[in-house]
C-alpha cells in the first residue's frame, strides 16, 4: 500500500515537472534526465511510470488541462450566474493570472500543437482530446446563454465555441510577443461582449 502511494506521488511529481519544463523549454528542448533530476527520481525508474517520452507528454497534456477544466466548471456551476457571464468571469480570471505571471508560458496546448501536432500521433491525439474537452465546456456555457436569451441563436453554440478557442490560442501567442493582456482583452470584448451577444 505504501509503495503504491509513493509511486502515485512520484508520478504526480513527474507530471508537475513535465508541465513546468515543457512549458518553458518545449518537447524537444526537455530531456528525461533533466526532469528526473529535478524531482530526484533515478533515471532507470522513468519506465516504471511511463512507457516512453511521447506517452509521458500525452499524460502531461491531460495533467495540464485538468485544472482549467475544473476552473471553468466552477464558473459554469456558480449559482445565479448566467452562461455568458460565467464565461466572461472565467476568461477574466485567466487574464488576471497571465498578467500576474508576467505573460510567460502562454498555453502548453498551443505550444505543443505547434511543435508536435504533425509529427507525433500519440501527442496529437492527447492534444485533440484536451481541446475537445475544453471546447465542449465553452459550448455548454454558450448553450446556456442561448437558452437565457443572452447569446445569439443564428449561430450554433459549437461553432462559436470553436471560434473562441481558436481565437484565444492566437491571442495567447500575441500576448507573449507584446507582453500585454491587450490581445486577450480584445478577444473577450469582441466575442463575449460583442459578436456572440443576442
20-33: pLDDT as tens digits: 999 999 999 999 99
What CATH number did the domain enclosing 94 receive? 1.10.357.10
Three-class DSSP category at 116? helix
Residue 106 lies in a domain: yes
Residue 94 lies in a domain: yes
Residue 95 lies in a domain: yes
Contact 161, 56 (CB under 8 A): no
Angle between helices 2-25 and 108-116 (to 10 degrees): 70
pLDDT of residue 44: 79
Three-class DSSP category at 197? strand
Residue 135 lies in a domain: yes
State the DSSP code for 92: H
Low-confidence ranges of the chain (pLDDT < 70): 1-5
Three-class DSSP category at 151? strand
Residue 14 lies in a domain: no
Residue 36 lies in a domain: no
Residue 20 lies in a domain: no
Distance CA 51, CA 116 (A): 18
Indicate the number of domains in the chain: 1
Contact 22, 57 (CB under 8 A): yes
pLDDT of residue 5: 67
Neighbour-count burial for 156-188, b at 16+ CB within 10 Å, e otherwise: ebeebbeebbebbbebbeebbeeeebebbbebb
Structural domain of 58? 54-195
Residue 188 lies in a domain: yes
Amino acid at each position: 500500500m505504501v509503495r503504491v502511494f509513493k509511486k502515485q506521488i512520484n508520478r504526480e511529481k513527474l507530471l508537475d515537472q513535465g508541465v513546468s519544463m515543457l512549458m518553458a523549454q518545449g518537447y524537444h528542448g526537455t530531456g528525461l534526465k533533466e526532469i528526473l533530476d529535478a524531482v530526484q527520481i533515478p533515471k532507470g525508474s522513468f519506465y516504471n511510470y511511463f512507457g516512453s517520452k511521447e506517452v509521458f507528454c500525452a499524460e502531461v497534456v491531460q495533467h495540464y488541462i485538468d485544472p482549467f477544466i475544473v476552473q471553468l466548471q466552477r464558473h459554469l456551476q456558480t449559482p445565479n450566474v448566467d452562461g455568458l457571464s460565467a464565461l466572461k468571469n472565467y476568461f477574466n480570471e485567466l487574464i488576471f493570472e497571465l498578467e500576474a505571471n508576467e505573460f510567460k508560458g502562454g498555453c502548453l496546448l498551443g505550444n505543443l500543437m505547434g511543435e508536435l501536432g504533425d509529427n507525433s500521433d500519440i501527442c496529437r491525439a492527447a492534444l485533440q482530446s484536451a481541446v475537445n474537452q475544453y471546447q465542449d465546456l465553452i459550448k455548454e456555457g454558450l448553450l446556456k446563454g442561448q437558452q437565457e436569451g443572452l447569446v445569439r441563436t443564428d449561430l450554433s453554440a459549437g461553432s462559436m465555441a470553436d471560434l473562441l478557442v481558436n481565437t484565444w490560442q492566437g491571442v495567447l501567442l500575441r500576448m507573449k510577443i507584446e507582453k500585454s493582456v491587450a490581445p486577450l482583452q480584445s478577444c473577450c470584448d469582441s466575442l463575449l461582449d460583442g459578436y456572440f451577444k443576442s
